[in-house]
Amino acid sequence: MRAVAIVGASLAGWRAAQELRAQGFEGRIELIGEETHRPYDRPPLSKDFLSGGLGAKDLALAEETDLAEVAATWRLGRRAVALAPSDGVIELDDSTRCQADGVVIATGATPKTLPAIPPGVHTLRTLDDALALRDDLRPGAKAVIVGAGFVGAEVASTCRNLGLDVTVVEALEVPLAPVVGPKLGAVCAALHADHGVRLLCGTGVERLHGEQRVTAVELTDGTVLPADVVVVGIGARPNTDWLHGSGLTVSNGVQCDAGGVTDLPNVVAVGDVASYRTPNGAQRFEHWTTAMEQPATAVRNLLAGRTTANFTSVPYFWSEQYGVRIQFAGHARPTDRIAIVDGAPDDRRFVATFHREDETTGVLAMNNPKLFTKHRRQLIAKPTAPVS
């Protein structure tokens, strides 16, 4: 293999480039990124960066020495529009082509949004998104956050800390219930009320009011919420449109085996766009840890030309809201039995474990990182699907 093209220049793509060099690849590496920025850290966008505590330079993932060691050719501000894997050709939006023996798909995901968006309505995924939103966050302004998942909750927390009047709208009856179950989802949701944020559950958005700028959010239950700024955090869809006609299987992401290998051995997928085999079936994880760790396995298999290793790390993510650190790891289901093993949910400091039959499937903690880490280490990943 003489040349590898990495489509996507965020964390997963950058880690793939680093792993190529670390695993002995001496050929040409091309990094293609739709954004004009070099790789940067996304988690602070909804927290310290949004509040003004960090600048853009503080988010950089690569020092000059790192860039020199990888020695990649960068194509930033360019979007891939087609892939012909048999020819090793990637067509870009400026009609140029990139040819490579191997391809790493790391195109991530795009936030879902609402129809007919007037100015003042934001999503938060990129550095440019965060800069635009930050300009709209003024003390005393009325902010409506649509979606009470982790991104929405973090933005709500930041807005509240900046002195905004914040309302969170969530379509589910209990936020995060599909992830941690209704009981612990309610505990996480209570953080909003603890800090004077209004939470409206079981309702969605009917339409947005305002033409020159958003003025209100009308909900499906008829409630009209005055709004100076709106942030939509209702999930994301994987960036796979450019792969239609490529011959790869695409369904809620790029389908790949437990080693990140797609239908073709010279194409692997990593990060948010990869839907790979787990003990619970095909899953796609939009978490920093997965994007950080998964490329090592995928690159190993790409260089071998076949699947020689599986990615078996236990999923892990964390969130900072209202000064509370929430951590979760595992393959838990909402129906799993829950045991509080330390502290108390009402104190906002506890550790809970999830159980299915005789197996521990997950662990959730609030403000208890030391004990959480102990239980996380005890989680053992089930054997993945047999390598084909």
The fold for domain 3-110+236-304 equals: FAD/NAD(P)-binding domain (3.50.50)
pLDDT confidence of residue 388: 40
Task: Give the residue extent of every domain in the chain.
Answer: 3-110+236-304, 113-232, 323-378
Q: What's residue 384's pLDDT? A: 39
pLDDT at 387 over 70: no
% the chain with pLDDT above 90: 90
pTM over 0.85: yes
> Number of helices and strands (H, E) in the chain?
8, 26
Q: Give the integer Cα–Cα distance in Å for 279 and 45.
A: 32
Residue 246, CA distances (Å) to 82, 101, 166, 338 in order: 7, 15, 45, 44
pLDDT, position 86? 79
d(CA 307, CA 387): 7
pLDDT score at 116: 84
CATH class of 113-232: alpha beta
Residue 339, classed as helix, strand or coil, is: strand
What pLDDT, on a 0 to 100 scale, did the predictor assign at position 385?
Answer: 39
Cβ atoms 132, 122 nearer than 8 A: yes
Mean pLDDT of 18-47: 97
Q: Does position 382 have pLDDT exceeding 80, yes or no? A: no
Asked if 3-110+236-304 and 323-378 have one fold, the answer is no
Per the CB < 8 A criterion, the answer to whether 30 and 14 are in contact is: no
Query: From residue 322, how far is each of 69, 123, 162, 183, 193 by CA, in Å?
Result: 39, 20, 11, 20, 11
In this structure, are residues 327 and 365 in contact, taking their beta carbons and an 8 Å threshold? Answer: yes
Integer Cα distance of 271 and 62 in angstroms: 18
Write down the pLDDT at residue 312.
Answer: 87
- The mean per-residue pLDDT over the stretch 98-107 comes to 96
Region of 140 please: left (phi>0), alpha (psi -120 to 50) or beta.
left
Residue-level pLDDT at 209: 97
Asked whether residue 334 carries a pLDDT value surpassing 60, the answer given is: yes
For residue 280, give every residue at least 6 positions away whose Cβ sits within 8 Å of its Cβ, in sequence order, or none: 331, 333
Q: What is the pLDDT of residue 32?
A: 98
What sign does the dihedral 265-268-273-275 (CA atoms) show? positive
pLDDT in tens, 248-307: 999 999 999 999 999 999 999 999 999 998 777 888 999 999 999 999 999 999 999 999
Q: What is the rounded distance in angstroms from the CA atom of residue 233 to the CA atom of residue 359?
A: 33
State both tokens at 101: 């023996």
Strand-strand pairing, 3-7 and 102-105 = parallel
Give 188-213 pLDDT, tens digit per residue.
999 999 999 999 999 999 999 999 99
Residue 7 has pLDDT above 90, yes or no: yes
87 pLDDT band (50/70/90 cuts)? confident
Give me the amino acid identity at 46: S
What are the DSSP E strand ranges found in 179-295? Answer: 198-201, 205-209, 216-219, 224-226, 229-232, 236-238, 254-256, 267-269, 274-278, 281-283
Q: What is the DSSP letter of 242?
A: G
Q: What is the mean pLDDT of the chain?
A: 94
Q: Residue 386: pLDDT above 60?
A: no
Contacts of residue 22, Cβ cutoff 8 Å, sequence gap at least 6: none
Q: Which residues contact 6 (CB under 8 A, 6 or more apart)?
A: 13, 16, 17, 29, 30, 31, 32, 72, 103, 104, 106
Fold designation for 323-378: Enolase-like; domain 1 (3.30.390)
Between CA 245 and CA 234 the distance in angstroms is 29
Residue 383 CB coordination number (10 Å): 10
**Is the CB of residue 262 less than 8 Å from the CB of residue 277?**
no
Q: Assign 380 a pLDDT band (cuts: 50, 70, 90).
A: low
| Sheet of 324-330, strand order | 316-321, 324-330, 359-366, 349-356, 337-344
Beta-bridge mates of residue 109: 238
b/e map 118-145, b = 16+ CB within 10 Å: eebbbbbbbbebbeebbebbeeebbbbb
What's the pLDDT tens digit per position in 136-182? 999 999 999 999 999 999 999 999 999 999 999 999 999 999 999 99
Neighbours of 288 (CB within 10 A): 17
